Structure 1
Amino acid sequence: MTVRPDPTFHALEDTDVLVSARSLAEYTDMFGLNGADLEGRIVDCPGGAASAVAEICAAGGHAIAVDPQYARGAEDLRGRILADVDRSVAQKQAREVDFDWDVRGGVVGHEAIRRTAADRMLTDLAASPERYIAGALPSLPLASDSADLVLCSHLLFTYADRMDLSDHVDAIVEMARIAPEVRIYPLVDHLGNPLPELVRSVIARLKKERLASRIEPVIRPFQLAATTRLVVERMNHQRP
């Protein structure tokens, strides 16, 4: 994957936005990843503390993560990630009825997944820092067509109270510049509220940008309300 020289990015400092730690198994559920997907070039944006990149690369694949938090120093980033793991676990336990805990092995299993993912990401960051690029939507420091698939987890729609329609469209158009296919999950806000009007409006605006969209079911959602993902493709893109 080619990185554009002298990238610029917006370093969003917002302690209300979690730097989330998720595993590749969770990404597989959320994004419907298959073997062909994992053989391509993948960008995780925002990558947060997810271990997906580390796991994909360990299996011989090609993946990078982009996140504004990577601009922090190593120790500062580690402290933020570990604090946010604690915060995320506490928040979900406080809203126990909103989640299918069996999907993640119960409360104990869920916490173990989060901490293991964070540890694996931080270990990989120390060993292969080139895989973790500081950058933020809607202007990523990556070359056009430098990936086959971009995954966007728990940013768009999740923070719809802070991002308007144009923010969503600009972010998706930028990700579609990087790769011919973009998958976005979930399509509910951080409280689990569905956003049908926003989703419809985003799809309509993307069509004007020659981007085709479809909504796919998620088979094993952890968040009970988050049962769908948005798949966006360039109109001239032929799926394998």
Structure 2
Amino acid sequence: MTILLATFTFFTVIYLMNLFIGLLNLAIDDYNKEEEFLLQKAQIIMEIEIFYMLPWQRNNNKWFPDWIYYDIPVTEIRKLINAIDNEQTVFNYPPIISEKLRKLVVLTNEEEQNNKLEKQIEQTKDEFTKQNVELKQHIKEELTKQNVELKQQMERIMKYIGIEQDNENEEEQDNKEQDNKEEQDNELEQIEQTKEELPRQNVSLKQQMDKLSQQMENIMELLKKN
């Protein structure tokens, strides 16, 4: 029994320790914020200045000047002032916000801001629609102009092509006529050449006939002698 009790207590302690560690991690994740760290740091510094510093140290202007200037975006100032007005901050001593600062920041209600934004959005939508309509009309006009110009150019090109074809046909006809003339001239030259060659051929034929007749006579004489 003692062994069972010892093991039970041992494992229950380990289980509870792990459970507490997990809960502590969750709590740290929830409270691990820079704002809370800065608030706690400011509280500690305030306590040191009030309770642990001498009067001459607190009255030193180099350590504690009357005015401190630093840069901060306007949007963050607006958020902070709205949070202070709506009691959404955790300040032990809430800061004093002057009217000049409010006028400079130009604080407005959320409804007014939303209305202004909606009006601006509607105006921008109307402007965009007008611009789209104008662009469409302009594009249509340009397309029609381009189509007309293209048609005119095509007609000009077709006319030019037709003229070139006519010129080519005329050139072909001229070339054919020239070829026919050249052929006729060549035929006439050949005929004249044949006319000139015919008497020569006749003379040569006569000479050959004479030779043949002599040969025949010689052959006949030889036959008679035999």
TM-score norm. by structure 2 comes to: 0.18
Give the structure with the larger helix fraction: 2
Structure of larger gyration radius: 2
Comparing both structures, which one devotes a greater share of its residues to strand?
1
